[in-house]
Structure 1
Amino acid sequence: MEEDTDYKIEFSSLCFVNEHVGFQGTIKGSPGDFVVIEIDEQGQLVNNAIDEPIYKINKLPELINFAKKPKLDLQNFSFEDRSSQELYTLARCSDNDQNHQSDSEKEDTVNDRTSVCEEENSDVLNSFIDEKTNENLNQFACDIKEKWKSETEFMEPSPEFSLGRIPDKSQRASLHSAIRQKFPFLITVGKNSEIVVKPNLEYKELCCLVSEEEALDFFKYLDAKKENSKFTFKPDMNKEHRKAVHHFVNKKFGNLVETKSFPEQNYNVGNPNVSITVRFREKAHKNRKRSLLDCQEKKVIYTAFTLRKENLEMFEAIGFLALKLGVIPSDFSYAGLKDKKAITYQAMVVRKVTPERLKNIEKEIEKKRMDVFNIRSVGDSLRLGQLKGNHFDIVIRNLKNQINDFTDLRERILEATDNVKNKGFVNYYGPQRFGKGRKVHTDQIGLALLKSEMVKAIKLFFTPEDLDDPVNTAKKYFLQTEDAKGTLSLMPEFKVRERALLESLHRFGMTEEGCVQAWFSFPHSMRIFYVHAYSSKIWNEAVSYRLATYGSRVVEGDLVCLDEDVDEHFPGSKVHLVTKEEESANIYAIHQVVLPVLGYNIQYPKNKVGHWYHEILSRDGLQSCRFKVPALKLNVPGCYRQILKHAHNLSYQLMGDHDTDVKMGESQVDEATLSLLISFDLDASCYATVCLREIMKHDV
């Protein structure tokens, strides 16, 4: 792989706050040399055994078997109406018989209720609109059908028919659905209290793929929105034709329904008849009012556990667990991301999985260099930042002096560790936040997302490294062809994120809108990670500029935090703008100075640093950016971050070649065989590699 020169330039230009010489060494020589243990909000290491659940909850009913094959998309798309008044449910047509149906009957298609619904539709139309309007509506519908039969295209704008103003909201709702059920080739749109009827161009498009009868029934099915119902197109032997139907339904209604193909029973193996079945997505009814009893019966189970993983990317670990448990990756929540090349312990919570089910897969996941323990029921999921910090046990090997430094190595180590212990380190975001060693860093993807350049962001994500392996071969193929389906066949199964994007791109296409839908295959925490990476990069550059411009002095226009015990998300009310008088009186210390992490709800310093921020935003084309990406449902309020931090409980020990203790005064051990075992705690969002860089005065 080519050397990551951008990374080297970026991180070699970062400042140091201590003046010692430092030393050189190697970290992460093996995963066991870098151990990370999360510290929970109570200050406890998460790998400690727990006898009692942290949260006590009432016993929940056992879930019905959820162990179905999970989809590769990491998060179900949330349902949004195609327009605020375009789709309505005719409750009487779907609910009258529902209470008397068996589970198998509830799986029947909407077609079984057609005659009943048609009668009720006629009753509704006769009740709420006069005879003349009803006749005109029927004539309008006939005219639309005749134009389509004659293959006459509509002139822009397409014809409309108004039912007039209907003041009563419930009557309007019933009319919307009654018309759409009686005339599925029409759509209704609300304009204030007026109902306007138009041709359903999506219906006409579907008629080019399936019979008119099927198109009518399909749109009736969509409008009825009967829970647990399904719609099945007629069996089809033509694979390319089925693919076209899949594409149409997913492109137009992918947020509402999902499609699957099933072969007929007793089909011909050589040339099977296959039917496409359409079902509503689970989340389509999440906003529907339910009785208290229903809510209790469907209450979600949450199971907390500690995850130990070794040399495994976090999202790969979650993807594997999801596969074994029959859930999707977005059902997992966590407090923070952890390194890949390390042994890490972190708290996690999984939805819809009982503790018993999780315990049943313990032996299977051991083969993947993972363990789960401290398994117990809890009342809710975790959120990012819900931790106090992390504990690190790190071995630095191949110790040696800096070039042209002939001072005793042990003295240099003692000097360096004591300095950082007392003075702290510059609180940079670490290189792993940006994708160390990669051609394209995560902050570049984040910048593209902030500028709503969705296709560019996808292409950046799939930029290959100069490696001849299956992953990079698949990425090269995708950039050359934009063939998502073909790339899926090349992309290894363990690349969960890549495959999730490819599956969505195959469904929605490589357009701007298709790429927006593809990003929704990532959970919110992963989508916003890329935007945060851009903000983090700018913060790193800002703190370097601040220290180079003003040093360790606190000057007029600086922002300081008035609270001694803060995390990265403290409110703006605790941030104070330093006055000229306060600068002269030396009221504040450098460790109180904070800089804003970009967002829509922050203030900038009122000195040269503030001007620098605005210049950088202009450089990157974000001078008018509001740090909101509505298309991806991303809102970035921003926060403040202290420019200096301290390691807590820092201790260290020199080790010989065979991990034997070496006292500082001993000289019989060859320095080439020395290793340093160093342990410390860091607050949340602080990076051990950055702390080690300050200690060693050497990029690690």
Structure 2
Amino acid sequence: MERDTLSCFISDHEGFYGTIKNSPQDFVVIEMNTHGQLVNSPNVQEEHTKRPQQSQANKKGDQLKPSKPDDTDILNQDSFDLNLILGPAMNEELEHFTNKMRANPNEICDQEKAELSLGTYPDKHLRAVVHRAVRYNFPFLQTLTDQSEIRVREDPDFKELASLASEGEAEEFFRFIDAKVPGSVFTFLPDDSKEHRTSVHHFVSRRFGKLVETKSFTDQQKTSITVRLRERSKQPKKRTIADCQEEEVTLYTAFTLRKENLETLEAISYMAAALGVLPSDFTYAGIKDKRAITYQAMVVKKISPERLLEKVSEFERRGMQISHVRPVSEPLKLGRLQGNHFDLVIRDLKPHGKHGLAELHQLVKEAVENVKTRGFVNYYGPQRFGSGSCVQADQIGLALLKEKIEASVKLFFTPEDGDDLQNKAKRHFLLTGNAKESLALMPAYKARERLMLRALHRYGSGQEGCIRGWLSLPHSMRVFYLHSYCSRVWNEAAKYRLQKLGLKTVHGDLVWARCETGLKTTTEELNAPQVHVVTSEEEKDDVFSLDQVILPMPGNSVKYPENLLGQWYQDRLAQDGLGSCRFRVTPLKLNVPGCYRPLLAKPQNITYSLRTAEEPSLSLTFDLDASCYATVCLGEIMNRNLS
């Protein structure tokens, strides 16, 4: 796949050479909230209201339902990395306990040896996380709470079911029960013995009768038992005032995170481990650069402001600082920001061609003014595709879209040239296929890799195991790879559009159908984003300018341009084997509807200062809309590809 896509510029100034991101201090990114305020400002307006007090209606006894997480807030059952939740030492002790218990079940007889204490967890939300995570990873264990201490021991119910079915079936059944998805179905393997089936029916009914219903069915002369979780009642019983008062409102705490030389997801993994929650309990508006100092808004679930502040010193040792800590009523949503403010320094400035340092001032002024007036091509920056030089995220996304699941896992674990622990772990996995040994090598903060390896260890590295591995990652992480591929195609489409159709809007281009233009849209288009196809008459009359043109991100719900660019999209996708792609990966529960992105973007509030006393350097400040990349803007200013 072509890599050098960011080489088509819309300005004709000469530009200059220089280096960016010499140090994190040279690249400072500050998120702007939806009010346009910097999130590190002392007087920043809060995005969310404080946790609501009990309303007057509730006080009067009206049957109001307190705020609770809905089904989408239920944590992914495969996303429980005990290394992060319990810590490496306790996780290792638990592994040792279970290995000994499974290898020599008859040797553990007295109560003290038959149980293991996982420690005390005063916070009830954290206790719930520990209970669910342990049961998912070790379905044959029973977790018990004594005041705030959690202990584990062998589950006699699991042992009984394993004697009736198989151990593998028992594991899957207990995970099915623990997930508690109404209407979901579990099917045991075919069983020809009616007496044996009756024993299974009796066990399930006795132990889980209030939750499930069982029945036998015959298919191709083979009889199996199905277990269905009962649907929730459509008429919930009325709750008393006492019930409402006892039900606790979900706790959310907002804060501003300052991080240095850390990926956003890496920082979240550190904080989750320190607080004893899951990475998926953190929400944020956008991903920020690694090689930078960045400020961004975050919200963490189930953690109080007081508890978060207790971890300040521990976070600082990891290159993170928190401020503006406050209770809020809801999580953050991805994209809930106006944009980002940038304070950047470009060092080692040198003119292009035969120009001398004396002409540098004029070159810089011309470049900045051009971009200020004309903008820049709104390419996705290199962060969108990952920092790897061997395999990038878009290649993994392509493999997923083609449902080459095993190949995508191998790409996921393709190492870089370095010899650090994570690359050693990746090489070991590709050479040996031993997920358990690779997991022991993988650093604790590499949450995605560890989740994947843990699933591969449990389910094997075949097709089913690889599917389980991907499903062990949160949805946002899985879909990132598909979006990365679509972003690569968008970048190439933008370059092709400018090279073949020029700098004016032409017949067949797509633009937003805004009300003020007087354009009318069909009913079909009203159900989707209102996109208008430029007519030949509109091209002739110059009705639209280039900065109104939008290009589609590939997906199953987008309209493509009705000119040669539209044909290019078809050819480009066919070239990658996606000619008939529905942009859904059903086994991984992924769907890409697609979207539209403006062809051009403009920096706002841009200022600059050139220093030539010793080492020529250029300081730049500007604001960009959400999802626009400062490295791309700098590339247009310098007239060189920075990807």
TM normalised by structure 2 equals 0.72
Aligned amino acid, residue 297 of structure 2: A
Deviation, structure 1 residue 393: 0.2
1:575-629: per-residue Cα shift (whole Å, max 9, x none)? 1001111111111111001110111110000110000000111111111111112
Q: Secondary structure at the match of 1:408?
A: helix
2:308 is aligned with 1:358: yes
1:4-56: per-residue Cα shift (whole Å, max 9, x none)? xx7xx623663100000000111100000000000111111111125885413
Distance 1:546 1:415 in 2: 26
The residue that corresponds to 1:394 in the other structure is: 344
Aligned amino acid, residue 181 of structure 1: S
Aligned amino acid, residue 144 of structure 1: S
Distance 2:53 2:430 in 1: 51
The residue that corresponds to 2:623 in the other structure is: 681
User: Is the Cα contact below 8 Å between 1:69 and 1:326 reproduced in 2?
Assistant: no
Within a 5 Å distance, the mapping from 1:622-637 to structure 2 comes to 622-637=578-593
Distance 1:439 1:573 in 2: 37
Distance 2:312 2:435 in 1: 34
Distance 2:235 2:297 in 1: 33
User: Is the Cα contact below 8 Å between 2:486 and 2:554 reproduced in 1?
Assistant: yes
User: Is the Cα contact below 8 Å between 2:34 and 2:338 reproduced in 1?
Assistant: yes
The residue that corresponds to 1:621 in the other structure is: 577
The residue that corresponds to 1:46 in the other structure is: 39
Shift of the 564–27 alpha-carbon distance from structure 1 to 2, 3 Å rule, reads farther
Distance 1:37 1:224 in 2: 50
2:498 is aligned with 1:547: yes
Distance 1:588 1:464 in 2: 47
Deviation, structure 1 residue 354: 1.1
1:57-95: per-residue Cα shift (whole Å, max 9, x none)? 235999944445978x99999xxxxxxxxxxxxxxxxxx
Shift of the 435–610 alpha-carbon distance from structure 1 to 2, 3 Å rule, reads same
2:227 is aligned with 1:198: no
Question: Quick one: percent identity of the two aligned structures?
Answer: 46
Distance 1:448 1:197 in 2: 37
The residue that corresponds to 1:18 in the other structure is: 11
Deviation, structure 1 residue 526: 1.2
2:243 is aligned with 1:181: no
The residue that corresponds to 1:601 in the other structure is: 557
2:417 is aligned with 1:466: yes
Aligned amino acid, residue 589 of structure 2: K
User: Is the Cα contact below 8 Å between 2:5 and 2:495 reproduced in 1?
Assistant: no
Aligned amino acid, residue 353 of structure 1: I
Shift of the 638–12 alpha-carbon distance from structure 1 to 2, 3 Å rule, reads closer
The residue that corresponds to 2:370 in the other structure is: 419
User: Is the Cα contact below 8 Å between 1:70 and 1:322 reproduced in 2?
Assistant: no
The residue that corresponds to 1:655 in the other structure is: 611
User: Is the Cα contact below 8 Å between 1:316 and 1:494 reproduced in 2?
Assistant: yes
Distance 1:45 1:142 in 2: 64
User: Is the Cα contact below 8 Å between 1:70 and 1:323 reproduced in 2?
Assistant: no
Distance 1:533 1:391 in 2: 24
Shift of the 317–13 alpha-carbon distance from structure 1 to 2, 3 Å rule, reads closer
User: Is the Cα contact below 8 Å between 1:332 and 1:348 reproduced in 2?
Assistant: yes
Counterpart of 1:580 (choices 536, 544, 548) is 536
Q: Secondary structure at the match of 1:32?
A: helix
TM normalised by structure 1 equals 0.67
Deviation, structure 1 residue 182: 7.3
Distance 2:394 2:191 in 1: 56
2:567 is aligned with 1:611: yes
**CA root-mean-square deviation:** 4.0
Larger radius of gyration: 1
User: Is the Cα contact below 8 Å between 1:75 and 1:520 reproduced in 2?
Assistant: no
Distance 1:373 1:495 in 2: 25
Q: Secondary structure at the match of 2:3?
A: helix
Shift of the 143–677 alpha-carbon distance from structure 1 to 2, 3 Å rule, reads closer
User: Is the Cα contact below 8 Å between 1:188 and 1:198 reproduced in 2?
Assistant: no
User: Is the Cα contact below 8 Å between 2:487 and 2:553 reproduced in 1?
Assistant: yes
The residue that corresponds to 1:333 in the other structure is: 283
1:258-277: per-residue Cα shift (whole Å, max 9, x none)? xxxxxxxxxxxxxxxxxxxx
Q: Secondary structure at the match of 1:616?
A: helix
Distance 1:410 1:291 in 2: 74
Shift of the 502–563 alpha-carbon distance from structure 1 to 2, 3 Å rule, reads same
Give the paired residue count.
516
User: Is the Cα contact below 8 Å between 1:447 and 1:531 reproduced in 2?
Assistant: yes
Counterpart of 1:516 (choices 447, 464, 467) is 467
Distance 2:422 2:235 in 1: 43
The residue that corresponds to 1:144 in the other structure is: 193
The residue that corresponds to 2:264 in the other structure is: 314
Q: Secondary structure at the match of 1:652?
A: strand
The residue that corresponds to 1:57 in the other structure is: 51
Within a 5 Å distance, the mapping from 1:228-377 to structure 2 comes to 293=243, 297-377=247-327
User: Is the Cα contact below 8 Å between 1:75 and 1:521 reproduced in 2?
Assistant: no
Shift of the 33–76 alpha-carbon distance from structure 1 to 2, 3 Å rule, reads farther
Distance 1:327 1:142 in 2: 41
Aligned amino acid, residue 21 of structure 2: K
Distance 2:237 2:395 in 1: 44
Distance 2:228 2:501 in 1: 66
Distance 1:18 1:47 in 2: 34
Instruction: Show structure 2 runs of 5+ residues with no match.
Output: 55-65, 67-120, 137-148, 161-189, 517-525
1:410-461: per-residue Cα shift (whole Å, max 9, x none)? 1101110010001100000001111245200100011111111111111101
Q: Secondary structure at the match of 1:465?
A: coil
Q: Secondary structure at the match of 2:550?
A: strand
Shift of the 357–589 alpha-carbon distance from structure 1 to 2, 3 Å rule, reads same
Q: Secondary structure at the match of 2:326?
A: strand
User: Is the Cα contact below 8 Å between 2:345 and 2:620 reproduced in 1?
Assistant: yes
Shift of the 493–182 alpha-carbon distance from structure 1 to 2, 3 Å rule, reads closer
Shift of the 51–619 alpha-carbon distance from structure 1 to 2, 3 Å rule, reads closer
Shift of the 610–287 alpha-carbon distance from structure 1 to 2, 3 Å rule, reads farther
Deviation, structure 1 residue 302: 1.1
Q: Secondary structure at the match of 2:193?
A: helix
Distance 2:623 2:365 in 1: 19
The residue that corresponds to 2:169 in the other structure is: none
Q: Secondary structure at the match of 1:518?
A: helix
